[in-house]
């Protein structure tokens, strides 16, 4: 039933070529949702889109640097031109920065903010235009345990960007609730993706040790909650931040 209801829906997943974004694309396409995989890496994005199409559900890839506002406008405009609608936006594209407070440079701070905060804010602003016209929409931010707890391995630029998207989530949720649009965030703990290559084996082991369930998260476990938040069943959830961290932090 869910598959039939969401069959005509169209979702943009930023950073959807790999990791958590790729798992979200898989969870959406399993429900018949058409995905636009918007990623800075066009080869990986097209490979992912091809895999989805091979499974019998439409998917399209588009090269986007989410820190570039003009590319965000094109991402949304081209999606609506191609499919005639945009129902779901997952603001997943993000970069990790571990430089500590006494080492982080101004340029690193600005770059992390441009990708993790500014880009993901303006992507929502663009996506809200067709969603408001349709009277239905779902926006989901991928925050982080770091933005909730102050960060363990992550540096202050990353922590600040991920805390800030929680503020944006709640701000936008207030603005568009009467338009049939929900805005929520998930805050994953340490999850098995390429982003962890920035950490040493010792740092990963220390994080694993602090997780109550005794292991890292899997991208599919984050994607399952995102798919629920994107569904009709989650219509009464907005402005929420859902922790998915194996018990490492209880807010
Ligand atoms: P990842 O590095 O495996 O994947 C990130 C994807 O985003 C890649 O496909 C990359 O090409 C793309 N990307 C990077 N910069 C981009 C840009 N400027 N524009 C468009 N696309 C861009 O990382 P991941 O672990 O899957 O992370 C996904 C999201 O989850 C990020 O926002 C990250 O901060 C967040 N997160 C991850 C973890 C974790 O432990 N893996 C924990 C908490 C939050």
Q: What is the DSSP letter of 188?
A: E
Torsions phi, psi of 195, nearest 5?
A: -60, -25
Query: May I ask the CATH class of domain 6-241?
Result: alpha beta
Predicted confidence (pLDDT) per residue in 92-141, tens digit: 999 999 899 999 999 999 999 999 999 999 999 999 999 999 999 999 99
Closest CA to 183 of 113, 250, 88: 88
pLDDT digits (tens, 9 = 90+) for 57-99: 999 999 999 999 999 999 999 999 999 999 999 999 999 998 9
In whole angstroms, what is the distance from residue 147 CA to residue 175 CA? 23
Which residues lie across from 138 on neighbouring strands? 88, 182
| Domain edges within the chain | 6-241
Residue range 174-200, pLDDT digits in tens: 999 999 999 999 999 999 999 888 888
For residue 192, what is the DSSP state? S
pTM of this structure: 0.97
Q: Give the pocket of ligand 1 (CB within 6 Å).
A: 14-15, 17-21, 39-41, 44, 64-67, 92-95, 115, 142, 144-145, 188, 190-191, 193-196
227-237, pLDDT tens digit by residue? 999 999 999 99
pLDDT digits (tens, 9 = 90+) for 147-181: 999 988 899 999 999 999 999 999 999 999 999 99
Q: What is the spatial distance between Cα 169 and Cα 185, in angstroms, rounded to a whole number? A: 7
Tokens 């998917």 belong to which residue?
A: 59
């Amino acid at each position: 039933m869910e598959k039939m209801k969401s069959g005509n829906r169209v979702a943009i997943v930023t950073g959807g070529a790999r990791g958590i974004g790729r798992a979200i694309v898989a969870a959406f396409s399993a429900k018949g949702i058409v995905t636009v995989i918007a990623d800075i890496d066009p080869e990986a994005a097209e490979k992912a889109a091809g895999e989805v199409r091979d499974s019998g559900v439409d998917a399209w890839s588009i090269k986007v640097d989410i820190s570039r506002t003009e590319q965000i406008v094109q991402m949304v405009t081209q999606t609506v031109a191609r499919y005639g609608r945009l129902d779901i936006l997952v603001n997943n594209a993000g970069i990790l920065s571990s430089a500590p407070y006494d080492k982080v440079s101004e340029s690193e701070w600005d770059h992390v903010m441009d990708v993790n905060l500014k880009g993901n804010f303006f992507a929502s602003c663009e996506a809200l235009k067709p969603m408001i016209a349709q009277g239905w929409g779902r926006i989901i931010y991928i925050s982080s345990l770091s933005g909730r707890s102050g960060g363990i391995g992550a540096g202050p630029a990353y922590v600040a960007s991920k805390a800030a998207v929680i503020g944006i989530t709640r701000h936008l949720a207030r603005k568009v609730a009467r338009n049939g649009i929900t805005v929520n965030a998930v805050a994953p703990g340490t999850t098995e993706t390429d982003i962890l290559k920035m950490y040493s084996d010792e740092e990963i082991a220390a994080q694993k040790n602090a997780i109550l369930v005794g292991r890292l998260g899997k991208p599919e476990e984050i994607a399952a909650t995102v798919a629920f938040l994107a569904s009709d069943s989650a219509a009464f959830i907005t402005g929420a931040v859902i922790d998915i961290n194996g018990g490492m932090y209880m807010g």
